Amino acid sequence: MTERLLRIGELATRAGVSNRTVDYYTGIGLLTPADRTPGNFRLYAPSDAERIAAIRRLEANGVSLDDISAALSGNRSDVTALLDHLERDLHALQEAAQTAGPEANGLLTAIALRAQSLIATALEITAAVPPL
């Protein structure tokens, strides 16, 4: 049995955000209503709650909504190419940390760890969230 579609308030409650957040994400293209009621109310798929969680997680990690939109609506090869580029940059950063003096080493190591975390988050979300 498939789950029924959700009105904006139901989706907001399920996702733990405000109706305004759902409306905003819809307005900028991060969410797309699955259907509309006869009264023209938007209806969303239950899986959109997971999509909102992914968006919020990326936002919390400093990723802009424009970048999130591009990643979630683009094709997988674009995302894969971007992640490959990030991984190359990460390796360069790790090499720089190894050869840097003690003051810079700690900072570069922290940046490299943060970058690894962001790449892991992006890979998880890319695998879990279908494009629009």
All structural domains of the chain with their residue ranges: 1-63, 74-132
Percent of the chain residues past pLDDT 90, beyond the cut: 33
Domain 1-63 has CATH 1.10.1660.10: yes
Residues 6+ apart with CB under 8 A from 126: 71, 76, 79, 83
The pLDDT of residue 5 is 95
The pLDDT of residue 77 is 61
The pTM is what? 0.65
Cα 74 to Cα 23, 32, 83, 123, distances in angstroms: 21, 15, 13, 14
The pLDDT of residue 58 is 79
Q: Which residue has the higher pLDDT, 96 or 22?
A: 22
Residue 101 pLDDT level (bands cut at 50, 70, 90): confident
Mean pLDDT, residues 12-26? 96
Q: For residue range 46-100, list pLDDT tens digits in order.
A: 999 988 988 888 788 777 888 788 777 765 566 666 667 777 877 787 787 778 7
Mean pLDDT, residues 33-54? 93
Q: Which residue has the higher pLDDT, 121 or 49?
A: 49
Mean pLDDT, residues 30-36? 94
Residue 68: which H helix or E strand, with range? helix 65-73
